Amino acid sequence: MATTSLFDRVRRSEAASGIALISPTALYAILLLAAPLATVLIYSVMTDGPSVGVIWQLNGENYAKVWTEPIYRAVMLRSLLVSFAVTAVTVLLAYPVAYFVSFNVPASKKSLWLFLITIPFWTSYVIRVFIWKGIILGYNGVINQVLMGVGLTSEPLQAINYNVGAIIITLAHAYAPFAILPIFVSLEKIDRSLLEAGLDLGESRFLTFLRVTLPLSMAGVIAAVMIVFIPTVGDYVTPTLIGGGKVNMIANQIQVEMLKQHRMALGSAIAVSAMLIVCVICLVFLFINRRFLGAQK
């Protein structure tokens, strides 16, 4: 009995030290993240006042507007479609890179490769997006000049600028490391002897990959999908700079409502709706994957 109570005491003191140590960071996150998010949630069911701020009057109209008016639905739908496309493109392009670094690069060089992959991600986002728009994909951009130089087209293509395609390319570039790193980590965890076993048992390399490596790295792929999907839905810089106000996404709409129209409640309702949809999609995705992975066993 004495030992249990001592053990309990130690454990309790460990819990107490842990909580004490984390409390400043936790408090900061609660005050400046959780509380503001809760405020947005409350604002979304209030009424917009004539000037900045809301009238404390319960009101479901904001949500009715966001979910029924064509302009909001169009923006929401576009954001989701762009995000789906970006996620698919980014993760598919990233997988072979993660595979190469994990399986074909000597262990001592791996962190150098990862470092090389992450560098562009850390350099000014605004400037990178502008270069995509102005220099690479633009009317007089590098791609058009190459296409005309090779003789594939006689006139610059309009189709690659100021549209959804350009937004997708730019976002796929921006979020590349978010996809590569989780897949890499899951590939690194795979016991290499399993692959040898697969080969020894007469499977081809490709089938071993399909039946051993890919299923074992699914956790990383799922993480990559979520980490790319969630922030791209709300990306602001790329649709603003590339779309030039013509192809707005959710973030632009929120910005317009909150800063230009001063409709805080409506802006909040858009944000909450978007995050809600994202959450539901992620949960459905996780659920489908659990079923899928369960069937694999």
Partner 1 sequence: MKFPVLRVYTVLYLIFLYAPIALLPVFAFNSSKVIAFPLAGFSTRWFAEMLNDDLLFRAAKATLIIAVSSSILATCLGVLAARASTRFRFPGKGGVMGLIMLPMILPDIIVAMSLLVVLLAMGVNLSLLTVILGHVLICTPFSVAILTSAFQSLDNSLEEAAYDLGETPLSTFRLVILPLVMPGIVSSLLICFTISIDEYVIASFLGGNQTVLSVYIFGQFRFPAKVPAMLALGTILVALSIALLTIAEYFRRRGIAKTGAKDTGGFL
Site for partner 1 in 70-109 (CB under 8 A): 93, 96-97, 99-101, 104
Q: Is 118 in the site for partner 1 (CB under 8 A)?
A: yes
54: left (phi over 0), alpha (psi -120 to 50) or beta: beta
If binding is defined by CB under 8 A, does position 203 make contact with partner 1? no
Task: Map the footprint of partner 1 across residues 146-175, applying CB under 8 A.
Answer: 173
Q: Please list every residue from 234 through 263 that binds partner 1, using CB under 8 A.
A: 234-237, 241, 250-251, 254-255, 258-259
Residue whose CB is less far from partner 1, 245 or 291: 245
What span, in angstroms and rounded, lies between the C-alpha atoms of 277 and 39?
A: 19
Size of the site for partner 1 (CB under 8 A): 91
User: Using CB under 8 A, which of 47, 49, 63, 134 touches partner 1?
Assistant: 134
- Which residue lies nearer to partner 1 by CB, 31 or 288? 31
Which positions from 1 through 40 interact with partner 1, judged by CB under 8 A? 11, 14-19, 21-22, 24-26, 28-30, 32-37, 39-40
Q: Which is nearer to partner 1, 148 or 218 (CB)?
A: 148
Which listed residue (6, 81, 119, 286) binds partner 1 by CB under 8 A?
A: 119
Closest CB to partner 1 among 215 and 231? 231
Tell me how far apart the alpha carbons of residues 220 and 98 are, in angstroms, rounded to a whole number: 10
Q: Which stretch binds partner 1 (CB under 8 A): 60-68, 70-78, 159-167, 227-235?
A: 227-235
Residue 219 backbone dihedrals phi, psi, to 5 degrees: -60, -40
Shortest Cβ 197–partner 1 spacing (Å): 19
- Closest approach, Cβ 200 to partner 1, in A, equals 18
Confirm if 246 and 287 have CB atoms less than 8 A apart: no
Q: Which is nearer to partner 1, 145 or 158 (CB)?
A: 145
- Least distance to partner 1, CB of residue 208, Å: 12
Binding mask 177-196 for partner 1 (x = CB under 8 A): xx--x--xx--x--------
Q: Considering the rule CB under 8 A, would residue 197 count as an interface residue with partner 1?
A: no
